[in-house]
Chain A
Amino acid sequence: MADPIVAQRFKALVLPHLSSAFNLARWLTRNDHDAQDVVQEAYLRAYKFFPGFRGEDPRSWLLAIVRNTFYTWYQQNRGQASATVFDEEIHSAEMAAPHPHDNPEAMLIRSESQKRVHQALRALPLEFREVVMLRELEELSYKQIAAVVGIPMGTVMSRLGRGRQLLATLLAPMDQEA
């Protein structure tokens, strides 16, 4: 593996997608610190499996590894009912009672409407959050999302539909208040 050509290819093809990897991990874990751990582990795995990479789309390939790494981590951590942050129910309560200080970047979001969208996406169940995030933030095609998540393209479409519908519901009552 210690082939300088391989290391160079890895540098050229995979490293530039660090921000994509980080954003996916961030929206999966909903926690910057855990996101960094997941991305780091994903990069180690990616480096290890890179000699076998023959595809044309290194970003999707990397994002699939990030996602798998996240799910491994998620399954290992969800049993611990401690102060950690991946309980879906706890987080869906966030819409009612947002915690503006729980992640530093929330402080950077300026407008109220941006904050609301942020909270709504955070509150979305995982299976919808990942496809919505890959589509709207990473602007992946259905084909790429299907490859990253490992589901048929039809399922990508239906999850996007349901995800957007849930977001519309989450965002609607606040629209009326505003």
Chain B
Amino acid sequence: MNHEQALELLPGYLDEELSLSEALEIQRHLDSCGECAQVLAQHRDVSAQLRSAQLRMDAPPELAKRIEAALPGRSAPWARLGERFKAQGNGNSRSVGSGSGSRWLTWPTWATAGVMVASVAALSVSMSLYLAVPSSEDRLTQEVVDDHIRSLQFNHLSDVISTDKHTVKPWFNGKLDFAPPVIDLVQQGYPLIGGRLDYVDGRAVAVMVYRYKLHPINLYVWPSEGTGIGIGAGAGTGTSTTQLREPAIHERQGYHLAHWSAGGMTYWAITDAGEGELRGFVTDLRGQLSS
């Protein structure tokens, strides 16, 4: 081993990351090379100073609280869920239906349904499904709203920027286990501006980004339940949304959302452009899809 090679490997020697044979060669070299020995001593000193300077500090407690509060529409799942499971374990039975409606309470409600399915038997399955349907729909609505907002905030609207469907569609190849329909609606006043990969309802989904005037429209597409491979199959997963042949429009936090199923795919569209504009977009899109 020559001097340059030894010098290169010195950090690895100091950090004990070398193989035994390399370490032995370095040792041999150090015996005869004052320069390397000096560099090693210097670096060892720097390392010791860094480790003793108390540069590391614990995360502030409020950060943990902020993170829990910021998780979108999930009501700080670990905190509440942990308590919930403990309460269940102590035989403290709570009403499954309590607190439905508020998005902060739907999660534990839904979780309780999951626990019931797991612990009780067939009898409660139908009940929990009955309970899970509206709340999972509600949760999915919130998830899409949160994702839409985030896509705008962090300038992550598009991973592939193109107004050409022949660019956007192949971009999804290999990134998803399905081929999303990519349709241009520039003639109708909704130009396609790009696409991205996102994560909704426990799976990777395709998002096509359109624009109406200055308003972005996010269109989420994934295979409908039964045809797709949802993550975590079985009772207690979030894929049990009602399948709608006709679009349902809701409003949340000032955004309008439409969702429907067609051709084995589930579609969610969201925008701040307004209800009429969203309806127009959905009608035009569905017209193109079926033609």
Contacts and interface: CB of A to CB of B under 8 A. Distances in A.
Contacts of A85: none
Interface in B48-84: 49-60, 63-64, 66-67, 70-72, 74, 77-78, 81-82
Interface centre among B10, B17, B63, B71 (most CB of A within 10 A): B63
Interface in A99-137: 105, 109, 113-114, 117-118, 121, 132-133, 135-137
B244 interface: no
A39 B141 CA distance: 26
Chain A residues touching B, majority SS: helix
A23 B107 contact: no
A36 B199 CA distance: 23
A18 B64 contact: yes
Nearest to A22: B59
A158 B11 contact: yes
A151 interface: no
A15 B66 CA distance: 13
Interface residues of B, number: 62
Contact of A161 (B8, B58, B82, B114): B8
Contact of A19 (B59, B66, B139, B150): B59
Contact of A18 (B7, B9, B49, B63): B63
A61 interface: no
Nearest to B45: A168
A4 B231 CA distance: 13
B46 interface: yes
A132 B50 contact: yes
Interface in B222-248: 231-232, 236-238
Contact of B43 (A3, A44, A158, A161): A161
A30 to B, nearest CB: 12
- Range for the number of chain A residues in contact with chain B: 35 or more
B173 interface: no
Contacts of A23: 56-57, 59
B15 A40 contact: no
B17 A141 contact: yes
Contacts of B57: 19, 22-23, 26, 105
Given A2-B110, A109-B54, A161-B43, A135 B67 contact: no
A117 B55 contact: yes
A27 B139 CA distance: 36
B17 A157 contact: yes
A84 interface: no
Interface string B111-135: 1001100000000000000000000
A41 B66 CA distance: 10
A1 to B, nearest CB: 4
Among B8, B55, B156, residue most surrounded by chain A Cβ atoms (within 10 Å): B55
Nearest to A132: B50
B189 interface: no
A137 B50 contact: yes
A76 B155 CA distance: 9
A71 interface: no
30 contacts: A1-B199, A3-B202, A3-B231, A3-B238, A5-B232, A8-B81, A8-B82, A22-B57, A23-B56, A23-B57, A32-B60, A36-B60, A40-B63, A44-B70, A44-B150, A48-B199, A51-B199, A51-B231, A52-B199, A72-B154, A109-B54, A114-B52, A114-B54, A117-B53, A137-B50, A137-B55, A157-B8, A160-B15, A161-B11, A164-B42
Given A39-B67, A118-B53, A121-B55, 9 more contacts: A2-B202, A19-B56, A19-B59, A23-B57, A113-B49, A135-B15, A164-B46, A168-B42, A168-B43
Interface of B: 7-12, 15, 17, 39, 42-43, 45-47, 49-60, 63-64, 66-67, 70-72, 74, 77-78, 81-82, 85, 107, 110-111, 114-115, 136, 139, 143, 150, 154-156, 199-204, 231-232, 236-238
